[in-house]
Amino acid sequence: MSSVKEEINIDKSYGKESSLNKKEFIDAFNIKETGLDTSEADERINKYGLNEVKSAKPKKWYNYFLTSLFSPFNSILIGIALILFYTDIYLAETPSYANIIVIAILVISSTFLEFFEEYNSNRAAEKLKELVATTTSVIRNGKEIKIPINKVTVGDIVKLSAGSLIPADIRILEAKDLYVGQSSLTGEAEAVKKTVELETNISEVDSISDLNNICFMGTNVISGSAKGAVIKIADNTYFGKVASTLTTDKPKSVFERGIENISKLLIRFMIILIPIVFILNVEKHSTVTAFTFAVAIAICITPLLLPVILSSSLSKGAVRMSKKKTIIKKLDAIQSFGAMNILCTDKTGTLTEDRIVLEKYLDIYGNEDFRVLKHAFLNSYFQTGLRGNIDEAVVDRALKNGMEEYIEKYKLIDEIPFDFSRRRLSVAVTDGVKKQLITKGAVEEILSICTMVDYKGEVSPITKEIKDNILQISKNLNKDGLRVVAVCQKNDIADITDFNVNDEKNMILLGFIGFLDPPKESAKSAIERLNNAGIRVMVLTGDNLEVTKCICKKVGINSDRIVEGKQIEKLNDYALLRILKKSNIFVKLSPIQKARIVRVLHEAGNIVGYMGDGINDAPSLINSDVGVSVDTAVDIAKESADIILLEKDLDVLLDGVTERKKNFCKFNEIYKTFNKF
């Protein structure tokens, strides 16, 4: 059930699109599965507008002007000016415009200074955000291309895979094990399966989460793949209809709360001081003179230029940080970025080169075996989901070993995409003679579905001794810094036409493939510099203990105490916090466990930065004080982040932090100088 109040009639808004079967839907809405051509797309963009939710559209200039004009301090001065108009002009025998003119000049000056700085800084921020604009895959002119999300229009055919952000409301036309995270709309953490046809009668649908053949704008693909037609964009989407109730903004930072509290304190001080000054002077002077003097005191203690100094400092800091390959999506994040005392980061790509190379392909006894490489190649080459570094490394190594012939020899029948709970991926292929289901994944998960082993073409039952030996070989490879993936297959699948997770059983283990992702040369010095800057580095990874320990030792992170995800699963937050104070490395974590660690650190009073670029990093990026991602990250990670690095390197992040500290020091100097007056 949706956690947000349903503000639309589901039947009226989505009844026709969801209740029709695929063929009826295509005919009724004139959907072209080959996609729109360029002229059609342009016509529809002109007709329906850009795919931008009203609340997310850039503000107009007059929005900034009105905000500046009616700031708390200006509002007080405008109120004082109105009172002076009554006392100095209406009541006075000889009207005096001097005080009103002075206040008007101050208000106008403050308004325009703040307006120009705020407007220009936000324009600069929008230009910076365009450098990392989120894109989506659509079919145009019969070809798959990437376009910005705001250029998606009604009738577009969108292709989705793991990590994709849903760009609009979409009716599913094709789906393969598609699971979508809808927590941004419904508050439900569990992924929802999406299919081509509606599985229930539209009259029985109580919530949008029951519409299993519609994907909604703002949600994201957890696993699987799909193709769908855009039925609603921008404000017409469900997200657009209830955007005001679907805020995912982070709580105010310490800096924002501090500025807000200072402003409130000054305003209260003025409200108390003006009557006191007036009462003390009214017996000695006329009412008008006493009140004028009280107003003058109020003017003197009003820090009119504080908002100007702040916005100017932050905007100029954002521009300077962009030159350090650090793009600021939210100006308020600059303070948290420089003030953070804990940086949580993944291992791959941050501490390591993110240049995975396939080093070993071994049978169950640790001997080199080209059959293992062949099966791994078929799995990686023919899978159609989000191809990662491991798949690229497998394909690259196989092609270097002359396995191009298998591309033509084998054909893909079906696949079972990767997801973070199974931690494996399967493809069904055929060479025209027989069908095979080939699966690769984490060693423990692959062992759990294997009942047989294949050694030099001979198949035999898996025994405890064999299983223990396999785990020991894997552990030894991990100690050498290699990430290990197991490969298995299944041949008795001739009668299966539609493959699913239930078919991943009674499989035959073939062997392992080992990958090396060496640590970055700059990582050790960057860690040391971060520590010297007062920033504690914590590693939160889904990888296993041995590989992570090997890498962390090489880059100078204390690896004496490493905690696994299963150890913290049943702990309450207080017990977890005690562990967090003593340990810097956490391994085999689920996305939810990562997000929980970040939340607990934040609630303990730390200013927490989180650096990540994967689908599973999105919850942690949102929970952190400042979310840091990279321009090569998946869509949902970029959307969740506050800051984007143009290189996934701790040195780049450290340069950004250093630049921010310089920027904030300059702001403090200016403000202290201003206070002297």
Record the tokens describing residue 346, joined without a space: 């993944």
607 — phi, psi (to 5°)? Answer: -100, 110
Cα distance from N-terminal residue to C-terminal residue, the chain: 58
367-to-370, 409, 502, 511 alpha-carbon distances in Å: 10, 27, 31, 9
Residue 326 burial class via C-beta count within 10 angstroms: exposed 0-12, middle 13-18, buried 19 and up? buried
Q: What are phi and psi of 425, to 5 degrees?
A: -140, 140
Phi-psi region of 354 (alpha: psi -120 to 50; beta: other; left: phi over 0): left
Q: Which of 406, 408, 448, 3 is nearest to 184 (CA)?
A: 3
Do 641 and 609 meet the contact criterion of CB atoms below 8 Å apart?
no
Find the helix or strand (DSSP H, E) in which 10 lies.
helix 10-19
φ, ψ of residue 647 to 5 degrees: the values are -140, 135
Instruction: List residues bridging with 174 in a β-sheet.
Output: 227
Strands 482-490 and 326-328, how do they pair? unpaired
H helices within 401-539, ranges in order? 405-409, 443-447, 464-479, 523-532
The answer to whether the CB of 99 falls within 8 A of the CB of 84 is: yes
E strand intervals along 410-532: 411-416, 424-430, 435-442, 450-455, 458-461, 482-490, 507-516
Neighbours of 38 (CB within 10 A): 9
- CB within 8 A of 668, min separation 6: which ones? none
Please report, as a single letter, which amino acid is at residue 319: V
The Cα-based distances of 310 to 50, 74, 255, 263, 665 in angstroms read: 33, 16, 11, 13, 12
In contact, 630 and 648? CB cutoff 8 Å: yes
- Cβ distance 503 to 493 under 8 Å? yes
Task: State the angle between helix axes of 72-84 and 287-301 in degrees (0 to 180), rounded to the nearest 10.
Answer: 160
Please count the residues of the chain.
677
Tokens representing residue 442 in the block: 């984490």
Please state, in angstroms and rounded to a whole number, the distance separating the CA atoms of residues 85 and 96. 9
**And the tokens for 29?**
């809405």
**Tokens 């973070």, located at residue:** 420
Catalytic residue among 156, 169, 346, 655: 346
Closest by CA to 112, choosing from 255, 299, 311, 266, is 311
The three-state (H, E, C) secondary structure of 319-371, written as one string: HHHHCCCEEECCCCHHHHHHHCCEEEECCCCCCECCCCEEEEEEECCCCECHH
Tokens of 143: 């070809």
How many Å apart are CA 529 and CA 677, to the nearest integer? 38
Residue 346 annotated in active site: yes
CB 382 within 8 A of CB 410: yes
Asked if 555 and 345 touch (Cβ cutoff 8 Å), the reply is no
Residue 183's CB is within 10 A of a number of other CB atoms, namely: 18
Q: Which residues are catalytic?
A: 346
